[in-house]
Structure 1
Amino acid sequence: MTLAYTMAPGRGDTDMILASLAANLATRGIRCCGTVQINSERCDAGPCDMDVRVLPNGPVLRISQDLGPSARGCRLDPDALETAVGLVADRLSSGADLLIVNKFGKHESDGRGFREVIAEAMAMNLPVLVGLNALNRDAFESFAEGLAVQLPPEPAALMAWVGEATAPAKEAV
């Protein structure tokens, strides 16, 4: 079982790093399953729109709700997220070299979202790379039960880990 996570300091930085990594891996023939997040600034200066692209080639799903300019709190659309989870679970069973989950967020911390998909991938001995933020770190560490390794949010370090983590799968082919 190979489980890793990365955390970048700036808002949206982990999303950009994981999206870039997935694109780079695709060009190298690594079959990625999972999601990467794409944040789009809004013309009304409200909070960004959040979309996820289901790997490897879509669809792109809007996972944020527009709650209005005065709204506070979580804008996650749980139904859209669960749709993404279902698509990833279906694709996982079709074969992959790596599972990338854009974020172990509040939904996962509360026992929903990608938790079961991550556990299933680990049971399949499929390497898993998760984006994480400080708010959900304790919940992730509890979920991971000491099995996860933290990776620096640097493309070279992530590529090196993926190369090592997927090597046994490549050798078996």
Structure 2
Amino acid sequence: MTEDNPVVLGAIIAPDSGQADELLAWAVEACRAHGKQVRGVLMETPPHEAGQPRPKAVLRDLHTGESYSILQDRGPLSRGCCLDTNVLSRASIVLRRAATEKPDLVIVNRFGSSEAEGEGFTEELLALIEAGIPLLLIVNTRYLEAWRHFNGGMGDEIACEQTSVAGWLDNRLGVGAC
């Protein structure tokens, strides 16, 4: 935390998640290389399997390595959100555990549609912020207004580029990642 902003909350703002997911993974490694304890969940997309309508997405626990497959297979004709909220609920324990462990940084894969509606990881995000634990996540540009409303202007908005993320890590956590 810093004196001018007691809440250390960074959001990588991105129109899509591919590059942002890579930046978040890079931030994890940069922090660990500087001896920082990092907890949370990171989105990963395993290689696409033939015959699968869409790549499976998993959340990986950064501490234990456990993976949570968060997309339901609703068949080839399904449309709309296929997020498995039951699995997301099970993955939320990773963030609740992080709130008690007090790591140097918590990574959350994203503030997305569920969080914009007050669901998903909303309670866990609030607990982490209240505990004063630095937090870094991704916000898709479609949820930017909901994100701003959620954080009440306390968060830093970070451009989706490595130099911007490195600057935030250095400024907010003292990680000279450049």
Give the TM-score category using the shorter length.
0.7 to 0.9
Q: Runs of 4+ in structure 1 displaced over 4 angstroms?
A: none
The answer on 1:84 being equivalent to 2:94 is: no
Instruction: Give the aligned partner of residue 15 of structure 1.
Output: 21
Separation in structure 1 between the aligned mates of residue 25 and residue 62 of structure 2, nearest angstrom: 10
Q: Which stretch has the larger CA shift, 113-122 or 100-109? A: 113-122
Would the aligned equivalents of 1:31 and 1:56 in 2 still touch at CA under 8 Å? no
Q: For residue 24 of structure 1, report the CA deviation from its aligned partner.
A: 2.7
Q: How many residues align?
A: 167
Letter in 1 for 2:104: D
Q: Which stretch has the larger CA shift, 105-114 or 73-82? A: 105-114
1:143-170 Cα distance to aligned partner (Å, 9 max, x none): 0111122111122321221232224xxx
Aligned match for 2:42, one of 27, 30, 36: 36
1:90-138 Cα distance to aligned partner (Å, 9 max, x none): 1331120011111101111121222222222222222211201122222
CA distance 1:138–1:33, shift in 2 (3 Å): same
* CA RMSD between the two structures: 1.7
Would the aligned equivalents of 1:107 and 1:113 in 2 still touch at CA under 8 Å? yes
Would the aligned equivalents of 1:33 and 1:92 in 2 still touch at CA under 8 Å? no
CA distance 1:97–1:11, shift in 2 (3 Å): closer
Q: For residue 38 of structure 1, report the CA deviation from its aligned partner.
A: 0.4
3-state SS of paired residue (2:101): coil
Instruction: Give the aligned partner of residue 56 of structure 1.
Output: 63
The answer on 1:108 being equivalent to 2:123 is: no
Letter in 2 for 1:86: I
Instruction: Give the aligned partner of residue 170 of structure 1.
Output: none
Question: Is there any run of 5+ residues in structure 2 with no aligned partner, and where?
Answer: 1-6
Separation in structure 2 between the aligned mates of residue 3 and residue 91 of structure 1, nearest angstrom: 15
User: How does the TM-score come out when normalised to structure 2?
Assistant: 0.85
Residues 114-129 of structure 1 mapped to structure 2, 5 A cutoff? 114-129=121-136
Identical counterparts, % of pairs: 26
The answer on 1:2 being equivalent to 2:8 is: yes
Letter in 2 for 1:30: K
CA distance 1:73–1:80, shift in 2 (3 Å): same
Would the aligned equivalents of 1:64 and 1:76 in 2 still touch at CA under 8 Å? yes
Question: Is there any run of 5+ residues in structure 1 with no aligned partner, and where?
Answer: 168-173
